Structure 1
Amino acid sequence: MGILIPLVVIAFCGYIIWRAGDSFVEGSNYIGRNLSEGVKGATINAVASSMPELFIALFFLFYLKDNSGFSGSLGTSLGSVIFNSLIIPSVAVYNVILFSKKDIVPVSKKVILRDGLWLLAVEILLIVIIKDSIIDWLDGLLLLIIYALYLFYIFKTMKGGEKVDYDFTLTDKEKVSFLSAFFVFDLRTMLIGNKKLNTPLAWFLFGFSSLVIGLVCYFLVIACDWLGSETYSVPYLGDFYGLNTPILFIALIFAAIGSSFPDTIISIKDAKDGNYDDAVSNAYGSNIFNLCIALGIPLFLYTTIYDTVIELDKRTMEMIFKIWIWFVGLTAVSIYTYYFGKGINKTRSVAMVISYIVFIVYVFFLASSISPSN
């Protein structure tokens, strides 16, 4: 029961994030309708779908504080990067192949090389930042500057899109009542009903969905803390036993997967609509956002507000380094897989999923050999 309770909470939070992700798709597609394919995926879609990681990192750092908080924040970001790189493009492409007559899905090598190399550069920069085991506000600011440079680069190198007449009008069969929408948590219908989308409504959907996801992410962080603890208390229910596992590993798997539902949904819908470049660039663009913004903003705010630095102990540094080796290695494998060849086929998609499963097995093995120090 002690393990089941946080898992149920995490699953429920993941469901809410998934449903709110539909509103993200709706709003971001309208807001970015005039951006070129690839640019929209790496910017609007990536920012929208990665809001959970930002909120989770904020709550981890301000809720658990210092070493544990940073471990939770870093674990979520690293886990999301690996999930995004291996699972999301593969699942998106596999869906296209499964439900169409295509044997292979072409993707822009320029997009893969652009976002993939930027991601590798950020990953290397990240380990350089934390190798001295001291994190301060300058490190957070540096990550934010890197993301600003990334945005500048893609807008300078990718062409703008043509003006699109975005007409999303529901038919009578597609219209649903507020009550029906409430039971499945259909935010779009609950907020704006069956109205035709326009710019103000699109931004409203975007903003309100962010707030909902932010609230849900708070409970997801609490559930992850319960799961990793030796013992924990639930109001009105009593005391329970957790896994007694470092929060880094809990966040690396459970928080990361729970927060990655919007990325998965957006990429699958992009791929089904034929926007293959957006499906891939959303995943890689989300990764860069996760490492630069979802880590940079919490680090900058926390160290500035509390006028402190975060000191990582030797045990935490050893765990981070072991994960980082897999982190960079699997990123390189994903870039190689998606870049070489004529496109992504079913075999390559399955191979990426298997790689992720192997990584999860390694994380469980590593976690079983280490117990929390507090």
Structure 2
Amino acid sequence: MVYFGPVVFFFVLGLILIIKGADWFVESAVWMADMARIPKVIMGATVVSFATTLPELVVSSFASWDGHPGIAIGNAIGSTICNIGLILGVCCLIKPYYIERSFFIYKGSTMLGIGFLMLYLLKDNTVDRAEGIALLALLLLYIVLNLIESIFKKDLLPEIEVSTGNWIINVIKFIIGAVCVMSGAKLSVDNGVILAQILGVPERVISLTMIAIGTSLPELITSFTATMKGYQGISIGNILGANILNLLMVIGMAATINPLKIAPQVKIFDMPYSLFLMMVLLLSGIIDSKIERWVAVFLLVIYISYIIILGVIFFD
């Protein structure tokens, strides 16, 4: 007999380990890169961009390895929905976002194009290994273009704070952080599966909601902090970049590990919903040079409606 309380406890514990572990892992990695005299512009375009998507990558990779494709792809797509609808909605509600339009349109269009590519790949309800490798190849191209862009636009990158310490301390933090992320992902996936069984819902529903929100907390913390400090460009850049990495890196890696056979609802409901949010965000940036509070309210309403629809469908 499986008890609900312990399952929820270990599920939440897994998410906490992922978030704190990712923090230690990236902080120590940045410190070591700085000590190795790797330019901050390179770190900003690679390590920092990779940082907030690390939880999704590890969770989806473990889910794919363990044969849970619903969690693997649901976590990635759910995070894109959460990033725009919930995180950007909350942050823009606190303070309207002024954007650099050319940068925003370029990144937003890239995100939307990759979103439509993902919808096309889902046409047969499968993302196979070859398609996963193709997504990773596109990821490599995206990173190269991002590096080239960052060299000429250093002012668009966040200042990277490097913690004090020595090699021993930071190597230990690097190892502990990696272990926490791995073990946390394992706990979250295993107990997420059990939680889905207890509640009588598909695994993808748990991954689209609870796991997606949990693994998106680094994006929430980063975006909220940037918003409060007045660095909205960093915040929205983080969200757009995270969504691109979720579709290319997270799904690409998961599909390369194991082909992802998914439920038809992902193709006809979840991914189109994500694309709708992307289009609303991109259009708001094209029409105006800032994202107003009314747009933030609209994004939040779309996200809440999505959660309600999932609840009506699977808990009725």
**Structure 2 equivalent of residue 186 of structure 1:** none
Q: CA deviation at 1:357?
A: 0.9
- TM-score of the pair, normalised by structure 1: 0.72
Structure-2 separation of matches of 1:76 and 1:363: 15
**Contact between 2:23 and 2:177, CA under 8 Å: does it hold in 1?**
no
**Structure 2 equivalent of residue 57 of structure 1:** 60
Alignment of 1:299-310 (within 5 A): 299-302=255-258, 310=260
**Structure 1 equivalent of residue 145 of structure 2:** 153
Structure-2 separation of matches of 1:244 and 1:352: 29
Looking at secondary structure, tell me which structure has more helix per residue: 2
Which of 181, 205, 227 is 1:249 aligned to? 205
The runs of 5 or more residues in structure 2 that have no matched partner are: none
**Structure 1 equivalent of residue 118 of structure 2:** 126
Which of 215, 225, 230 is 1:259 aligned to? 215
Q: Does 1:214 align with 2:217?
A: no
Structure-1 separation of matches of 2:174 and 2:105: 29
**Structure 1 equivalent of residue 192 of structure 2:** 224
- What's the secondary structure of 1:196's corresponding residue? coil
**Structure 1 equivalent of residue 297 of structure 2:** 350
**Contact between 1:43 and 1:285, CA under 8 Å: does it hold in 2?**
no
**Contact between 1:118 and 1:150, CA under 8 Å: does it hold in 2?**
no
Note the alpha carbon deviations across 1:116-151, whole angstroms, 9 max, x for none. 111111121112223124443211111101111222
Check 1:200–1:113 CA distance in 2 against 1; reply closer, same or farther (3 A cut). farther
**Structure 1 equivalent of residue 9 of structure 2:** 8
Q: CA RMSD in A?
A: 3.2
Identity of aligned residues (%): 19
Alignment of 1:1-374 (within 5 A): 2-23=3-24, 26-27=27-28, 34-35=40-41, 40=44, 43-63=46-66, 65=67, 69-95=68-94, 97=95, 104-158=96-150, 159-161=152-154, 196-197=164-165, 205=173, 208-229=176-197, 242-302=198-258, 310-312=260-262, 316-368=263-315
Structure-1 separation of matches of 2:84 and 2:168: 33
**Contact between 2:52 and 2:218, CA under 8 Å: does it hold in 1?**
yes
- What's the secondary structure of 1:58's corresponding residue? helix
| Number of equivalenced pairs | 308
Check 1:161–1:91 CA distance in 2 against 1; reply closer, same or farther (3 A cut). same
**Contact between 1:86 and 1:334, CA under 8 Å: does it hold in 2?**
no
Q: CA deviation at 1:282?
A: 1.0
Q: Which amino acid aligns with 1:223?
A: N
Moved more, 210-219 or 220-229: 210-219
Check 1:53–1:167 CA distance in 2 against 1; reply closer, same or farther (3 A cut). closer
**Contact between 1:45 and 1:266, CA under 8 Å: does it hold in 2?**
no
Q: Which amino acid aligns with 1:254?
A: M
Q: Which amino acid aligns with 1:144?
A: L
Check 1:74–1:200 CA distance in 2 against 1; reply closer, same or farther (3 A cut). same
Note the alpha carbon deviations across 1:316-356, whole angstroms, 9 max, x for none. 12443222221211121122234432323444333322221
Q: CA deviation at 1:253?
A: 0.5
Max Rg structure = 1
Structure-2 separation of matches of 1:165 and 1:337: 27
